């Protein structure tokens, strides 16, 4: 074998077709919780579950809990009339 036949350069890494060269790779999205779980908890769980979600819930879970609890209060107000 001659020296010209031997490849001396290190192998190149293949670039992803989705990520252009020179662009930073985005970090994975943080878990923001479940809107549906918060909504069901707020609607059916009452004050105790609503308080637990307020203490430990994540962003989307809190949004769902607020909406579910507000809907529960509206339904209770309309039903009492």
Predicted local distance difference test score (pLDDT) of residue 31:
85
pLDDT tens sequence across 2-16: 656 556 666 666 655
User: Is the CA virtual torsion 59, 64, 67, 68 positive or negative?
Assistant: negative
d(C-alpha 48, C-alpha 45), whole Å: 7
Q: How confident is the model at residue 41 (pLDDT cuts 50, 70, 90)?
A: very high
Q: 30 or 58: which carries more pLDDT confidence?
A: 58
| Tokens encoding 67 | 């909406």
pLDDT tens sequence across 56-72: 989 999 999 999 999 99
Cβ proximity of 60 and 33 under 8 Å: yes
């Amino acid at each position: 074998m001659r020296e010209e036949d031997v490849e001396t350069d290190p192998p190149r890494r293949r670039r992803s077709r989705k990520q252009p060269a020179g662009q930073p790779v985005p970090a994975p999205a943080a878990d923001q919780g479940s809107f549906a779980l918060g909504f069901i908890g707020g609607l059916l769980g009452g004050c105790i579950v609503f308080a637990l979600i307020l203490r430990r819930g994540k962003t989307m879970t809190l949004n769902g809990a607020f909406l579910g609890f507000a809907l529960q209060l509206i339904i209770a107000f309309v039903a009492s009339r």
